[in-house]
Amino acid sequence: MKIHLIAAARPNFMKIAPLYHALKKEAWADPVIVHTGQHYDINMSDAFFKDLELPEPHIHLGIGSGSHAEQTGNVMIAYEKVLLREMPALVVVVGDVNSTIACTITASKIVYPALPDRPTPIRSNINRPIVAHLEAGLRSNDRTMPEEINRIVTDALADILWTPSTDAVENLLTEGVSREKIKNVGNIMIDSLEMMRGKIERAGAFRELGLTKGNYGLITLHRPSNVDSPASLSTLCRMLIGASQETPLVFPIHPRTRKNLDTFGLMDTLRDAERIILTEPMNYIRFMNLVFNCKYVITDSGGIQEETTYLGIPCLTMRPNTERPVTVDQGTNQLCTMENLQRRIERITSGTVKPYSVPDLWDGHTAGRIVESIRTIRLG
């Protein structure tokens, strides 16, 4: 069974890695990694493949950056050609980036040519691949986020919806998705974390930066709503400089954020802050070593909200909403505004920590449940 695993941007790689490794162990499965090229810098892509012990992508579309329409359209055009040539039985898309929606639309509408030697389709009534969405059902209910549009369209089209948590199941049912399409498999990123735990714990990233365990804050910011306007980015820089007086901070800077810090003339202000360490984006193992050992995280990433909940690390999310409410209701996450961020940091540094528990099925065994789900499709 030829299975395409679509990898595109940094947060996708830790979602496909455990599934690739699990499928590789199955004699019936032929997992093929398709990299769209949405992220292309070494430290945004290759470094993750290396850390997660993935082979070079089997197929690379080389799309690169662009506007939403350009990026989505270019992936669709390139992936259509690949689908017609390769004719996989199953396409697995993950997360909510532009390549996720692009490959979902393309695979859902493709019609494979009727060739005499073509393998029997997996379902006799469709002459195209089955499309499965891993991390289905998440909703921020904020359609100003490009990712929310990507989630809604992907879930509307996909044939199989693998959800990370029960709130995601509820969202899909509310939208009228039939229950038999949904399988709650848990959080695949925890599989990557557990798979790499030994290497993460042995990595010395925080020590190499001169930091001590439990005594620094970790910053990641890249959402357009935070970093694309000079007003919000300069306010955030001011807040970080203030927070660093109390606890040193380390800030691996995403390419989008770096570009804007340069454009808005804010880079020197940050460089001058003595207790903020600025770094390039980090590979998975070194970055997770920083997460494991920090006092708190300030972020606008989706995945980090989940990783911190799993690890019990306080997480301050600079967003008005989250598609991962379980991390707030049950986990360590708090949604913050510019107005209340400082107070929240002070509470954490003075020792007040939110009680938390780990959501169901965030247990490091999600890839195994997905393999079982694929086995059922194959036999069905």
Residue with tokens 């804010």: 266
| Residue 41 within binding range of ligand UD1, rule CB under 6 A | yes
What is the rounded distance in angstroms from the CA atom of residue 178 to the CA atom of residue 165? 17
Q: Least Å distance between CB 69 and ligand UD1?
A: 11
**Interface region with ligand UD1, contact rule CB under 6 A, candidates 15-23, 50-58, 255-263, 335-343:** 255-263
The distance of closest approach from Cβ of residue 4 to ligand UD1 in the complex, given in angstroms and rounded to an integer, is: 18
Q: Applying CB under 6 A, which part among 93-101, 131-139, 169-177, 236-244 lies near ligand UD1?
A: 93-101
Nearer to ligand UD1, 39 or 295 (CB): 39
60 is catalytic: no
Candidates 32-40, 113-121, 234-242, 315-323 — which segment interacts with ligand UD1 by CB under 6 A?
32-40
Query: Which ranges constitute the DSSP H helices of 123-213?
Result: 146-157, 166-174, 188-195, 197-202, 205-208
Can you read off the two tokens belonging to residue 139? Answer: 């909703």
Report helix angle 255-263 to 230-244, nearest 10. Answer: 100
Give residues 211-240 in contact with ligand UD1 (rule: CB under 6 A).
Answer: 222
Q: 5-30: buried (b, 16+ CB within 10 Å) or exposed (e) per residue? A: bbbbbbbbbbbbbbbbbbbeeeeebe
Closest approach, Cβ 184 to ligand UD1, in A, equals 23
| Site mask for ligand UD1 (CB under 6 A), range 173-212, x = bound | ----------------------------------------
Q: How many CB atoms lie within 10 A of CB 220?
A: 24
Beta strand residue intervals within the chain, DSSP E: 2-7, 30-35, 59-60, 90-94, 130-134, 160-163, 182-184, 217-220, 249-252, 276-279, 296-299, 315-317, 333-335
Distance CA 237, CA 224 (A): 15
Nearer to ligand UD1, 211 or 227 (CB): 227
135 near ligand UD1, rule: CB under 6 A: no
SS3 280: coil
| Least distance CB 147 / ligand UD1 (angstroms) | 5
Single out the catalytic residue among 4, 35, 133, 222: 222
Kindly tell me which residue out of 2, 40, 194, 267 binds ligand UD1, with binding defined by CB under 6 A. Answer: 40
CB of 67 or CB of 124, closer to ligand UD1:
67
Count of beta carbons in the 10 Å neighbourhood of residue 363: 16
Under the binding rule (CB under 6 A), the answer on residue 98 touching ligand UD1 is: yes
Residue 73 interacting with ligand UD1 (CB under 6 A): no
**Is 38 or 184 the residue whose CB approaches ligand UD1 more closely?**
38
Helix (H, G, I), strand (E, B) or coil at 287: helix
Binding to ligand UD1, residues 139-168 (CB under 6 A):
146-147
Nearer to ligand UD1, 40 or 112 (CB): 40
Q: Is 95 left (phi over 0), alpha (psi -120 to 50) or beta?
A: left
Choices 175-183, 235-243, 248-256, 362-370; region in contact with ligand UD1 by CB under 6 A: 248-256
**Number of CB atoms found within 10 A of residue 102's CB:** 30
| Number of chain residues interacting with ligand UD1 (CB under 6 A) | 19
With a CB cutoff of 8 Å and minimum separation 6, the contacts of 325 are: 167
Task: Decide whether 10 or 324 has the Cβ nearer to ligand UD1.
Answer: 10
- What is the spatial order of strands in the sheet that 296-299 belongs to? 276-279, 249-252, 217-220, 296-299, 315-317, 333-335
Give the nearer residue to ligand UD1 in terms of CB position, either 321 or 373.
321
Answer yes or no whether residue 97 interacts with ligand UD1 by CB under 6 A: yes
When the beta carbons of 255 and 312 are compared against ligand UD1, the nearer one is 255
**Window 281-340: residues binding ligand UD1 (CB under 6 A):** none
Calculated CA dihedral for residues 143, 149, 152, 154, nearest 10 degrees: -170
Binding interface with ligand UD1 (CB under 6 A): 9-11, 38-41, 44, 65, 96-98, 146-147, 222, 254-256, 259
Catalytic residues: 222
